[in-house]
Amino acid sequence: MVHKIASPFGGYYIYPDDPENLFQQMLGVKSKVGQETSHEMTPAVDIYEDESAYFASIEMPGVNKEDVKISCSGGTLTINADVNRASHEGGHWVQHERRIGTYLRSIKFRTSILEDQISASYANGILQLTIPKKSDKHKTVSISID
């Protein structure tokens, strides 16, 4: 976990309370979910499943529905969206903490899915996806002998 403490001189001091996190940052290991790397943000995802489908909830605050792009190929679902903030002329930012950049997340499913039947809805910064699974039920087929 990373803590930010306001500096009396403006800005923030950032320090980890986890030595492993500090070591990973020194090695340049990609940041964890919810943190940004060069304006690329990895949204938090919750996925649960039943026998017929996966259900995913993806947090994407500040994103307009029209800016969300979802694609699926080879059993990998990819979600991305750009977040931009309005610019203001004639002044300057005193404090600017809200993130801008690109949300990007890819999810590889461990079972076959019906890519052409995925459904999505978006409200209040949460993208909801239903990803149907291909049926694994074996059918008995009679084979005739010639």
Q: pLDDT by residue (tens digit) across 70-81? A: 999 999 999 999
> Is residue 24 located within the same domain as residue 56?
no
Nearest to residue 71, comparing CAs of 118, 130, 22? Answer: 118
Tell me, yes or no, whether 138 lies in a domain: no
Q: pLDDT by residue (tens digit) across 92-117? A: 878 877 777 888 999 999 889 999 99
> Is residue 111 located within the same domain as residue 70?
yes
Tell me, yes or no, whether 139 lies in a domain: no
Global confidence as pTM: 0.63
Residues spanned by the domain of 102: 34-87+95-132
Cβ neighbours around 122 below 10 Å, total: 19
C-alpha triplet 54, 57, 63: angle, nearest 5°: 140
Nearest to residue 62, comparing CAs of 84, 87, 32, 34? Answer: 84
